[in-house]
Amino acid sequence: MKIKPMIILLMIVLTSCSKETLDESFKQTIASAEKSLKLDSLSLDTIIPIKESPYKKFLEKPKTIVPLADNPSTIYDIAGFPINIIAKESSTGQRFLTSQGVGNVLVLQGENANDLNQRFSLQIMPLTGYVLIKNVENKLVSAGTYASQPDNHVLYVKDETSTLGASWSFLPGQITPSSYIFQNADVLGFDGPEPTPINVYNKVIGTDGNNIYFDKYRNQARQEFEVRLIDDFVIDEIQYINDATATLNQVPDFTVNWTYTNGTSVQQSITTNFGQKASKTSNFNTQNTFTTKVNTEIKVGVPFFANGKISTEISGSTQHTYGTSETTEDTRDYNIPILVPANTRVVATASVTRYDMNVKYIATLRGLNTNKIIKVAGVWNGVDCTDINITTQETNLLTNEVKTKKAIKVIPN
């Protein structure tokens, strides 16, 4: 605020006089001037709501977004859940978005499960599909500016209900897994000397140390954020989708050779085995962009290979821990019967084949604290081993004649 020289001079003169000689009107003038100075000094540090951008006329009108009713759950299905908002990258290592109360900027701090200021919730605007972010006091998280720097946008908690500056699009992260880009509907910028319909863009938030800034999205990890549901989940149901998208690939695993010599005149029957065992693997790859905390002790059935195809009859399958990668040894006996004719040397080769499977799944999760239900999509990948193919080569010890027999398929038991 600019103060006229006359007012400044008046204040100096009057303050040099005794209070007894001051006229009451002059006292009021001084008090008013001092109050104006204090208010102006305060306003320089005050965060105020943003005004509608003049560049908005260059943007296309937002299209109505209808949340999908089909599986799996989307950002729209977790509205009302308590969440953490976590920066995917921070130079300080402190990544949890933290409110500092109404009228103050949000900052990044270390994780503190007991700090309610790190808890937020989402609300969906029904006509546009924009997302509102609210702090634990149910106040809007919004873009704002300092009164003295209207072009410098900050992220703060505002004490009003206007959604201008508080409307967000949650876009899938491009650099980091399970992440979102928080794009503001009202903070705009443009490339070039003048704004045009082709160079105006919506700004997103990013991290700078422990602070939040607005900028054009520049494919940086520090401009992407994780949305983590604050609850402990259990699995009510898991459904595997064994359709045309499921894949099955046969991959050789390992081979074992034996040599047996029968120098007698009587055929011998032997049973052999080998110590090396095939490995089975199970890996759950979640595809939802938000993240959940699932009890690590929960076991679920997984698909397996049977009768030449993928079977999802999980009631009879091996149990594996949901949400993790596991490798287990095939515990079946690899007992292989071999006939060795009289006066014959037999070289037997066992080829173990594994089957690599990829099957989509939808897991129904229930929050133990909120009792809310969400559905998480993903792809289960696993390796199962069933087939052992045996080929034998027989050499007559008397004539040196060599015969090769056809492969025999053996199923471990």
The pLDDT value given to residue 302: 85
Residue 394, pLDDT above cutoff 70: yes
User: Would the pLDDT of 148 be above 80?
Assistant: yes
Q: Which amino acid would we find at residue 369?
A: N
Q: Indicate if 271 and 152 belong to the same structural domain.
A: no
Residue at which a domain ends, from 168, 190, 223: 223
**Could you write out the DSSP letters of every residue in 370-381?**
T--EEEEEEEEE
- pLDDT of 207 higher than 50: yes
| CATH code, 157 | 2.80.10.50
- Residue in 253, 246, 46 with CA at minimum distance from that of residue 154: 46
- Assess whether 175 and 315 both reside in one domain: no
Q: Is the domain of 299 the same as that of 355?
A: yes
Indicate whether 404 pLDDT > 80.
no
Helix ranges, 187-345 (H): none
- pLDDT of 413 reads 60
pLDDT at 216 over 90: yes
Do 117 and 173 sit in the same domain of this protein?
Answer: yes
Q: How far is the first Cα of the chain from the last one, in angstroms, to the nearest whole number? A: 89
Q: Does the pLDDT of residue 327 top 50, yes or no?
A: yes
Query: Which residues, in sequence order, are bridge partners of residue 366?
Result: 234, 373
Provide the β-strand partners of residue 389.
351, 409
Strand partners, 202: 188
DSSP conformational letter for 2: P
In the numeric block, which tokens belong to residue 18? 């005794």
Lowest mean pLDDT of 99-103, 108-112, 336-340, name the range.
336-340
pLDDT of residue 296: 65
Domain boundary among 177, 194, 223: 223
Query: What percentage of the chain reaches a pLDDT higher than 90?
Result: 46
The mean pLDDT of 181-200, rounded to a whole number, is: 95
Q: Report the C-alpha gap between 199 and 62 in whole angstroms.
A: 17
Where is average pLDDT lowest: 125-134, 279-288, 403-412? 403-412
Per-residue model confidence as pLDDT tens digits over 60-79: 765 544 444 444 678 888 99
pLDDT at 19: 46
Q: Decide if pLDDT at 118 tops 50.
A: yes
Contacts of 46 (CB under 8 A, 6+ apart): 103, 146, 147
What pLDDT is recorded for position 396? 92
371: domain CATH number? Answer: 2.170.15.10
38 and 169: one domain? no
- Domain span holding position 24: 5-43
Asked if 62 and 56 count as a contact pair (C-beta separation under 8 A), the reply is no
Report helix, strand and coil shares of the chain as percent, to nearest 5: 15, 50, 40
Task: Write the Ramachandran bin of 7: left for phi over 0, alpha for psi from -120 to 50, otherwise beta.
Answer: alpha
Banded pLDDT at 253 (limits 50, 70, 90): confident
| Residue that the structure tokens 């056809």 belong to | 406
Residues 243 and 211 in one domain: no
Could you tell me if 39 and 113 lie in one domain? no
The band of 113, judged by pLDDT with boundaries at 50, 70 and 90, is: very high
198 and 51 share a domain?
A: yes
Residue 111 has pLDDT above 60, yes or no: yes
Give yes or no: residues 322 and 369 share one domain.
Answer: yes
Tell me the pLDDT band of 4, cut-offs 50, 70 and 90.
very low
Q: How far apart are CA 284 and CA 311, in angstroms?
A: 17
Task: Name residue, tokens 């700090």.
Answer: 115
Give me the chain's average pLDDT, please. Answer: 83
Taking 80 as the threshold, does the pLDDT of residue 274 lie above it?
no
Same domain, 281 and 186: no
State the average pLDDT over residues 28-52: 60
Pairwise pLDDT comparison (275 vs 56), residue with the higher score: 56
* Helix, coil or strand: residue 277: coil
Task: Name, in order, each residue with C-beta under 8 angstroms of 390's C-beta and a sequence gap of 6 or more.
Answer: 336, 338, 348, 349, 350, 351, 407, 408, 409, 410
Q: What's the pTM?
A: 0.72
Co-location of 241 and 386 in the same domain: yes
Boundary residue ending a domain (223, 256, 272): 223
**Torsion angle of C-alpha atoms 13, 19, 20, 22, degrees rounded to 10:** 40
Whole-number pLDDT of residue 222: 98
Q: What is the pLDDT of residue 55?
A: 94
For the cut 70, the answer to whether the pLDDT of residue 219 exceeds it is yes
Q: Is pLDDT larger for residue 115 or for residue 258?
A: 115
Tally of domains within the chain: 3
Q: Is the pLDDT of residue 295 over 80?
A: no
Considering 123-127, 278-282, 404-408, the range whose residues carry the highest mean pLDDT is 123-127
- Distances 159 to 47, 140, 387 between C-alpha atoms, Å: 11, 7, 67
Cα 100 to Cα 313: distance, rounded to the nearest angstrom: 52
Please give the average per-residue pLDDT across 268-283, as a whole number: 79
Long-range Cβ contact pairs of 326-332 (< 8 A, separation 24 or more): 326/281, 326/282, 326/283, 327/279, 327/280, 327/281, 328/279, 328/280, 328/281, 328/282, 329/277, 329/278, 329/279, 329/280, 330/277, 330/278, 330/279, 330/280, 330/385, 330/412, 331/277, 332/412, 332/413
pLDDT band of residue 89 (cuts 50, 70, 90) is very high
Q: Band of the pLDDT at 40, cuts 50, 70, 90?
A: very low
33 & 138 share domain: no
- C-alpha 325/C-alpha 132 separation (Å) is 36
List CB contacts of 209: < 8 A, sequence separation 6 or more. Answer: 90, 91, 92, 108
Mean pLDDT along residues 384-392: 79
Answer whether 221's CB lies under 8 Å from 176's CB. yes
pLDDT above 90 for 45: no
pLDDT-derived band at 345 (thresholds 50, 70, 90) equals: very high
pLDDT of residue 86 exceeding 60, the answer is yes
